[in-house]
A and B are shown apart, each in its own frame.
Chain A
Amino acid sequence: MSSAGSRLLVTKGWLRQKLLMLSCACGGLLVSAVALAESQQPYQLLRGNPAGYGAVVPGKPIELPADHLPHKDYRIEWWYLTANLQDAQGNDYGVHWTLFRQSLSAAADPGGWASNQVYMAHGALTTPAGHVYEQRFARGGIGQAGVVLDEQGHFAAWLDDWQLRGEADGPLPGQLVFTVAGAKVVLDLQANTPWVLQGQNGYSQKSAQGQASYYYSQPHIRISGSLQQHDESLALDGVGWLDREWSSQPLAPDQPGWDWLALHLDDGNALMVYRLRQANGEHWISGSWVDPQGQAITLGPAEVVFEPLATNPVTSAAGRVRDLPLSWRVALPAKGLSWTVSSVAADHWLDTAFPYWEGPVRVQGSTTGRGYLELTGYE
C-alpha cells in the first residue's frame, strides 16, 4: 500500500501557526482547537470512526473499470503513480504523482461549491540535479479537481492542470501530465498485464482489529515520455507502478505509520511489501510477488522478510533532522531470494502539509532492480 496516512502528519510550522491563531483570536478558539487536536493526532483522520462511511469488507469483488472512479461513500482514496525512468545517457530519474480524495462527511455530496469532497495532489521529480516537489489542494464540485469519465467516456483524474488521462475507461493506457518547479513532465503509460488485486482479491487487511482497504495495483507499466524544462525536451523511458486504494479507516489506533516498498526486478518480476509499524513492535507485514505475466501471489509475514539495515539522517527543508531507515533487507526465504534495497538519495523528504519520505531505490542481491520506497509516520 502506498498511502496517505503519513501525509496527515502536520508540520511544526503549521502547528505554530495554529497556536498563534489560538492566542490571537479568542473567537476562533473553537475552530482552532479542533484543528489543533487534529494536528496533534495526525492519524486521527485515518483512524476516524468509519460509522456512516462505506465499510471495507472481504469478498466484495473489485469491479473494473467502475472502481477506477471515486468511491465517495468511502472517506479516503488515492490514485498513486511512481516511476523509475532513464534518459538516453542512462541517467536515473524518478517521478511520483498522487491524487488524494477525501469525503469530509459521510453525508451525500451536495456538489457544487458546498461539495464535501476535497482533493490534494503531490507531484515530485527526481533528476540528477536533485529532488523537487509541489502540493496542491482543491475542492470538489466546481471542476477544479475530480476523477470522472469525460464526454468521450475516457478516464480523467485532475487537479488544475495536473492530470492523468486514460485512452479509454481506465487510467491505462494513458498519459500523465504535470508541472513541478517549472519542469513539465509528460509520460505515456502502457501496460499489458492484468491489474493485480492485493490481499484477498483486493481486500487488504491492515491490522488484526479489522482495519482494511480495497487495494489494487498495476506493477508493470512501461513508460515513455519527456521532461520539458527551459525550452528543452528530454526523452525518458522506464517502468512505473500505479496503486489504487480506498478505505474509510485504514489505520488501527496503535499504528504510528508504515514503510512501503515497490520493486521492479530486472528479471521482470515485481515485488511489493509493506509493514504497518505497531506500538508493540510486532509489525503488520504484507506484500505481493508478481511475475512478468502479472500473476501475483500474496505474501504474509511468514513468506517475506522486510527489515531495516541502517538509518540515515535526513534533513527536511525546515531544517529538522530525522533518522530514517533508508536501507532494507528484503527476502523471500521459500524462494531462496534475498536483496538489499537502498535509497538513491537521502534528500527526499516532502515537507508538505502531510510530510513523509518518498524516493527511488536501487536493488542488489539475488537480482538487481529499482523501485520506490515510502516512509510515513516518522515524527
Chain B
Amino acid sequence: MKAETPRQFIWVLLTLLSHYRRHPGQALAMIVGLVTGVALWAAVQLINDHARASYAEADQLLGAEASAWIRAHDDSGVAPADYIELRRAGFSTVYPVIDVRLRSSSGSFITLVATDLLALPLLAGGGSTMANPFAAASWLPMIQPPYQAWYPSALARQLDIAPGQQLQLANGQALPPALIQTQAQQGQRIFMDVGAAMAVLQRRQFSYLAVGHLPPAEQQRLAASLPPHLQLVPNHQAIDLAQLTASLHTNLTAMGLLSFAVGLFIVFNAVRFSLLARQGSLTTLREMGVSTGLLGLAIVAESLLWALLGTGLGLLSGFLLSQQLLPAVATSMQSLFGASLGATVSLQPVQVLVAFSLTLAGVGLALAMPLWQRARTSIRHSRSAPAQWQQEHAGVKRMAAVALVLLLVAGLIYPQIDSVVAGFVVLGLVMFGGALLLPLLVQLSIAAVATLLPQRHWLLRWSVSDAVAQLPHLRIALMALLLTLTANIGVTTLVGSFRAALGDWLQTRLSANVYVQSNTLDLAALGQAQWLAYAAERFGSSQRWQDRPTTVRGLDVAAPDAQALLLAQGNPADLALWRQGDGEPQAILANEQVHFLGNQLLGSLVELQTATGLQTFKLVGFVHDYGNANFQFYLPNETLLKLWPQARREGVALWLQGDTQEQATAALLQAGAKPGEWLLQDEIKRVSFAIFDRTFAITAALNTLTLLVAGLALLAALLAVHQQRLPEYSHWRAMGVGFRQWFLIVALPLLLMIVVTLVLAVPLGLILSWLLIHDLNVIAFGWTMPLRWTWVPVWQLSGLTLVIVFATLAVAVLRVRQTLPDALKQLAGNEG
C-alpha cells in the first residue's frame, strides 16, 4: 500500500487537475483572484519597502552622505566663499547644495537639487553614478552654457518635458535643456550642476552645505571653524522621514491587505466552486479506495501549484503595478514630507517569500473549510444534496455568530485605540464582522419577503425560493462585494471630508490676495498705497521639539487673517491674551499636531529653545494645520523676534483694496520684488488642491482596483452559478418557462441580495469613515475635520454593481440559448 501511494497520488492529482482543463473559466477565476490579491498587496508592499529604503538613504544625496548640514541662521543661504574656505580648511566631505522649489510657467511646483558632483565625498562601494569628470566628456555640457537639467523619467512625463526641451519657470527664467536621467537619491527632483543652477537661477548663494561623515572630533572642529552666520545642523531626515511617514505606510499596507483579502474571497469562491463541481469525482475516487488523506494531500498539492502560479504572476503584476503607482506616491512624499523616492522599484527575495507564504496561507484557508466538510462526510452521504444543504444553513448561522463576536471585540477595543495599527484592527473587525453577518441578513430578508408575498403570485414565490438556491453560491462574492463597497464608501467619504475641510481652512487661512517671498522687496517702499489694505510680514524659526522638526512662526496679529483666526480648540479670551503677547507664562498657539501627536493639552506648558535658552510657554489654543507633518507653534511677530532675533523672513501677505491686482504687481516690482516672487491667492489654492489630489491619487487608484477585483469576484461567482445551473435553466425552458419568467426567477432574487448588500454597505461605510476621520486620521496625522456624508459614491457604486450583475445575467442568457439544444438532448437521452 505504502509503495503504491506515490503512484496513486499522481493519478489522483491528475484527475483533480483535469477539472481545470475542462473548465478554464474556473482556472481563470482562481488566477484572477490570486493575481489581483497578490498583485495589489505586493504593489503596496513594494512601494512601502522602496519608500523605506529611500528614507534610509535620506541622509545621502546623489550617492554621498549628508550626516549634517551647514546653514545660515536665517536660512538665507551659504556663500561660495564660505564653502571654499571650509574646503581649504580640510573639510573635504563638505559639499554645496542648492535645493529649491520652483514654479513652472504652467503652475506646477518642482524641486530642483544641484550640487558639485566633483566635490561629492564618494561613498565606499557606491558613490556618484556620474562618470569621473576627469575623464568624462559629459562634464563640460553640464557645467557650461546652455547647461543640462536632469529629469527622472516620471517627472519628465508629468511636466511633459522631452529631451532637449527647456522648462519655463513662472518668473520668466528657463531651465537648461532636459536630459532624462537620474542620480542616486535624486527622487522626483530635477538635478543640475550647482554652478549651472547659480547661473540659471541668478543665485549667488547655495541653499546649504551638506556634510558627509565626520568623526566627532572633526565635527567639533568644523562647528568651531564656521563663521558666526553659519550653523551646523544634524541631519535627522532618515529618522524623521521614517517616523513621519509611518502612518501613511500603515494606511497603504491596510489597503494592500484589504485587496489581498478581497482577492482571497475570489479564490475562496473559485475553490468552493471547483470542489463542488468535483465532488462527484472525489467520491468516485474514494469509492475506488483512495483514502481521504491522499485526497487531502492531492488537494494540498493543487493549492501549492495555485499558490506558486498566483505568487509568480501576482508578484509580476504587482511589480508592474507598483511602477505605475510609484510616481504618484513619490510626488506625495516629496510634497508632503520632502522625501525623495528613487525611480525604480526592485523585488527582494524576502518579498517573494512573504507573498508566497501569504498566498499559500490564503489558498490553504480557502481550502480548509471545504476540506474539513469533505473529511467529515461519509462516502455514502457525500452524494446526497440535502446533507450539504443543512451544512450551508448551519454555516450561515455559524458565520453570524462569528460576526457578532468580531463586532463585540471591536466594540471592546474601540475605547482603547491608541495606535494606527489598533485602529486598523478595529476597522478590520468591523468590516469582516459586517461581511460575515451578510449571509444571515440576506437569508432573513428573503424569508421576510417570502412571507409578505401573496400565495397566488406563484412566479414571485418561485423567484424568492430560487434565491435560497443561489445564496450559498453567491454569499462569498456578496461578502467580497460588501467589503469593497464599504471600503469605497468609507475612503471616498474620508477623502471628500478632507477635501472640504481643506477648502474651508484655506478660505480663512489664505485670506490675503498676494503672498510675496522676496529678499529684495523693500516693504516700507509700498508705504500707505491706495491699493493696499494691509501688509503683514511673517517670520519663522526652526528647531526640534519632541525630537520632531518644529517651526515657531511669527504672525502679524493685526492682519485680517490673524484677526479672523479660528481655533480648533481654545477659548477666545486666551486668544486675546495671545494677541497681546501676554500671559504668564507667555501664551502660545500650536497646530493640532502638537495636541494629538505631541500629547499636549490646552493649558499645557511647553519648553522651546530660544536664542537665550529654554523658555516655557503656555498652550492657549490649537489651530488646524492640514498637510503639515511637523509641529508648529505661533507667536505674535514682536514676541518671536524678541526671542529669536535671527528668525528668517517667511514672506509678506498683502490684502488689496478691491480689484487692484495690476497696481499691486506694478508697485511690487517698483519696491524691488522680482517677477515670480509673489503668488496670488487663487494659485496657492489651486496648487494646494493639486497636491492634495495627487497625494490621494494612490488611494483613489487602490480604491478603484479593489472595486474592480470585487466586481470580478461577483462576475466569476455569478458565471459559475449560472454555469452550474444551466441544465436546470434548460429544464425550465423545456417545461415552457419563457425568457421573461426565467429572467424574473433568476434576476429578482439576485437583485434582492445585491440590494441587501448595498443597504448594509452604507452604515458600514459610514462607520468606516467615522473611524478613519475621528480616530485613525487623528492618530496618524494629528488633524481633525468634520465628517461630510454624501450619497454620490453610494449611487455610483450601486450603478456599477448593477452593471456587473446585468452583464453576468446577459452572459448567462447567452449561454442558456447556446447550450439549450444540448441540454435538452441530454435530458432526453437520460430519461428515454
* Beta-carbon contact of A113 and B195 below 8 Å: yes
B344 close to A (CB within 8 Å) = yes
Complex interface: chain A residues within 8 A of B195 (CB): 112-114, 139, 142
Instruction: Name the CB-closest residue of B to A14.
Output: B132
* Beta-carbon contact of A28 and B137 below 8 Å: no
Instruction: Name the CB-closest residue of B to A116.
Output: B140
Shortest Cβ distance from residue B118 to the other chain A in the assembled complex, whole angstroms: 5
* Beta-carbon contact of B134 and A118 below 8 Å: yes
* Beta-carbon contact of B181 and A27 below 8 Å: yes
A39 close to B (CB within 8 Å) = yes
> Which candidate, B23-31, B84-92, B593-601, is the interface stretch facing chain A?
B84-92
Complex interface: chain A residues within 8 A of B145 (CB): 114
- The answer to whether A161 and B90 touch (CB under 8 A), given A24-B344, A38-B136, A114-B144, is yes
Identify which of residues 274-322 in chain A touch chain B, using a CB-to-CB cut-off of 8 Å: none
Complex interface: chain A residues within 8 A of B129 (CB): 17, 20-21
Complex interface: chain A residues within 8 A of B119 (CB): 137-139, 144
Identify which of residues 99-144 in chain B touch chain A, using a CB-to-CB cut-off of 8 Å: 116, 118-119, 125, 129, 131-140, 143-144
B562 close to A (CB within 8 Å) = no
* Beta-carbon contact of B181 and A144 below 8 Å: no
Complex interface: chain B residues within 8 A of A39 (CB): 131, 135
Complex interface: chain B residues within 8 A of A131 (CB): none
* Beta-carbon contact of A31 and B138 below 8 Å: yes
- The answer to whether A34 and B118 touch (CB under 8 A), given A114-B143, A143-B84, is no
* Beta-carbon contact of B198 and A34 below 8 Å: no
* Beta-carbon contact of A38 and B131 below 8 Å: yes
A74 to B199, CA, bound (A): 28
Instruction: Name the CB-closest residue of A to B194.
Output: A113
* Beta-carbon contact of A161 and B138 below 8 Å: no
* Beta-carbon contact of A31 and B194 below 8 Å: no
* Beta-carbon contact of A118 and B133 below 8 Å: yes
A27 to B198, CA, bound (A): 24
* Beta-carbon contact of B144 and A110 below 8 Å: yes
B80 close to A (CB within 8 Å) = yes
Instruction: Return the contact of A139 from the options B125, B143, B181, B199 (Cβ within 8 A).
Output: B143
* Beta-carbon contact of B135 and A10 below 8 Å: yes
Identify which of residues 312-355 in chain A touch chain B, using a CB-to-CB cut-off of 8 Å: 353-354
* Beta-carbon contact of B180 and A353 below 8 Å: no
Q: Mark A66-110, 1 if CB is under 8 A from B, else 0.
A: 000000000000000000000000000000000010101100001
Complex interface: chain A residues within 8 A of B182 (CB): 24-25, 28
Q: Mark B6-27, 1 if CB is under 8 A from A, else 0.
A: 0000000000000000000000
Majority SS of interface residues in chain A? Answer: mixed
A354 to B133, CA, bound (A): 12
Complex interface: chain A residues within 8 A of B140 (CB): 104-105, 116
Instruction: Name the CB-closest residue of A to B139.
Output: A104
Complex interface: chain B residues within 8 A of A32 (CB): 131, 181
Complex interface: chain B residues within 8 A of A132 (CB): none
Complex interface: chain B residues within 8 A of A158 (CB): 88
* Beta-carbon contact of A160 and B133 below 8 Å: no
B78 close to A (CB within 8 Å) = no
* Beta-carbon contact of A34 and B137 below 8 Å: yes
* Beta-carbon contact of B136 and A144 below 8 Å: no
* Beta-carbon contact of A102 and B180 below 8 Å: no
- The answer to whether A144 and B156 touch (CB under 8 A), given A27-B181, A38-B137, is no
A59 to B199, CA, bound (A): 43
* Beta-carbon contact of B87 and A144 below 8 Å: yes
Q: Mark A1-41, 1 if CB is under 8 A from B, else 0.
A: 00000001010011001101100111110011011001100
Q: Mark A112-123, 1 if CB is under 8 A from B, else 0.
A: 111110101000
B196 close to A (CB within 8 Å) = yes
A136 close to B (CB within 8 Å) = yes
A157 close to B (CB within 8 Å) = no
B153 close to A (CB within 8 Å) = yes
Instruction: Return the contact of A179 from the options B87, B90, B138, B180 (Cβ within 8 A).
Output: B90
Complex interface: chain A residues within 8 A of B131 (CB): 18, 31-32, 34-35, 38-39
Instruction: Name the CB-closest residue of B to A29.
Output: B181
* Beta-carbon contact of A8 and B118 below 8 Å: no
* Beta-carbon contact of B87 and A161 below 8 Å: yes
* Beta-carbon contact of B179 and A27 below 8 Å: yes
- The answer to whether A102 and B134 touch (CB under 8 A), given A27-B181, A114-B143, A179-B90, is yes
* Beta-carbon contact of A35 and B134 below 8 Å: no
Size class of the contact patch on chain B:
35 or more
- The answer to whether A28 and B143 touch (CB under 8 A), given A34-B138, A45-B135, A161-B88, is no
Shortest Cβ distance from residue B132 to the other chain A in the assembled complex, whole angstroms: 5
Q: Mark A126-165, 1 if CB is under 8 A from B, else 0.
A: 0000000000111100111000000000000010110000
* Beta-carbon contact of B144 and A354 below 8 Å: no
A42 to B119, CA, bound (A): 22
- The answer to whether A27 and B153 touch (CB under 8 A), given A120-B134, A161-B92, is yes
Instruction: Return the contact of A160 from the options B90, B138, B181, B344 (Cβ within 8 A).
Output: B90
A160 to B138, CA, bound (A): 23
A120 to B139, CA, bound (A): 14
Complex interface: chain B residues within 8 A of A114 (CB): 143-145, 195, 199
A138 to B88, CA, bound (A): 12
A110 to B145, CA, bound (A): 11
A26 to B151, CA, bound (A): 12
* Beta-carbon contact of B180 and A26 below 8 Å: yes
A100 to B440, CA, bound (A): 83
* Beta-carbon contact of A160 and B135 below 8 Å: no
A26 to B343, CA, bound (A): 13
* Beta-carbon contact of B89 and A118 below 8 Å: no
A13 to B137, CA, bound (A): 19
Complex interface: chain B residues within 8 A of A112 (CB): 195
Instruction: Name the CB-closest residue of A to B215.
Output: A182
Complex interface: chain A residues within 8 A of B137 (CB): 34-35, 38, 104
A195 to B418, CA, bound (A): 80
* Beta-carbon contact of A353 and B90 below 8 Å: no
* Beta-carbon contact of B153 and A160 below 8 Å: no
A215 to B119, CA, bound (A): 30
* Beta-carbon contact of B133 and A27 below 8 Å: no
- The answer to whether A118 and B139 touch (CB under 8 A), given A113-B195, A160-B90, is yes
Complex interface: chain B residues within 8 A of A17 (CB): 129
Identify which of residues 231-280 in chain A touch chain B, using a CB-to-CB cut-off of 8 Å: none
A60 to B84, CA, bound (A): 37
A13 to B126, CA, bound (A): 9
Shortest Cβ distance from residue B726 to the other chain A in the assembled complex, whole angstroms: 52
Shortest Cβ distance from residue B166 to the other chain A in the assembled complex, whole angstroms: 15
Q: Mark A38-56, 1 if CB is under 8 A from B, else 0.
A: 1100100100000000000
**A to B CB contacts below 8 Å, 26 in the list:** A8-B135, A14-B132, A25-B181, A27-B179, A28-B179, A31-B138, A34-B138, A35-B135, A35-B137, A38-B137, A113-B193, A113-B196, A114-B145, A116-B140, A116-B144, A118-B133, A118-B134, A137-B133, A142-B84, A143-B88, A144-B84, A158-B88, A160-B87, A161-B88, A161-B89, A161-B92
Besides the contacts A144-B87, A144-B88, what 13 more A-B pairs have beta carbons closer than 8 Å? A21-B181, A27-B181, A28-B179, A31-B179, A34-B136, A102-B134, A115-B143, A116-B140, A116-B144, A144-B84, A160-B90, A160-B92, A161-B90
- A residues near B, CB below 8 A? 8, 10, 13-14, 17-18, 20-21, 24-28, 31-32, 34-35, 38-39, 42, 45, 100, 102, 104-105, 110, 112-116, 118, 120, 136-139, 142-144, 158, 160-161, 179, 353-354
Give the top 3 A-B pairs by smallest Cβ distance, nearest first. Answer: A27-B180, A113-B195, A28-B181
